[in-house]
Amino acid sequence: MSDARIVDALGTHCPVPVRLLARAIARAPVGTKVRLLADDPLVAIDVPAWCHTHGHEIVQFTESGGTWTAIVVPTHAADRSRSDDTDASQMLI
């Protein structure tokens, strides 16, 4: 997985992990793997919901020892006019 961009959200809580993921996805070229590490259990709900809403693909999502790892691939270019490709009205909080 050395070719993946890593987003370390360990120690943060909702909505921070999804916002950090959104920023990384916004800056990643289409097809690049972005690996999110988080220990907030809400990522199990928030990450799939955010990816579904924004049309990005989760290729792997696992939990081990209280740490969730999500590998997300952007499927389209993010709207660069927005700072983090999120819309707070569409996030689960």
- Could you give the residue numbers annotated as active site? 14
* Burial (CB count <10 Å: 0-12, 13-18, 19+), residue 39: middle
Structure tokens at 69: 């790892």
What CA–CA distance (Å, rounded) separates 56 from 11? 24
Beta partners for residue 73, in sequence order: 57
H or E element that contains 7: strand 5-8
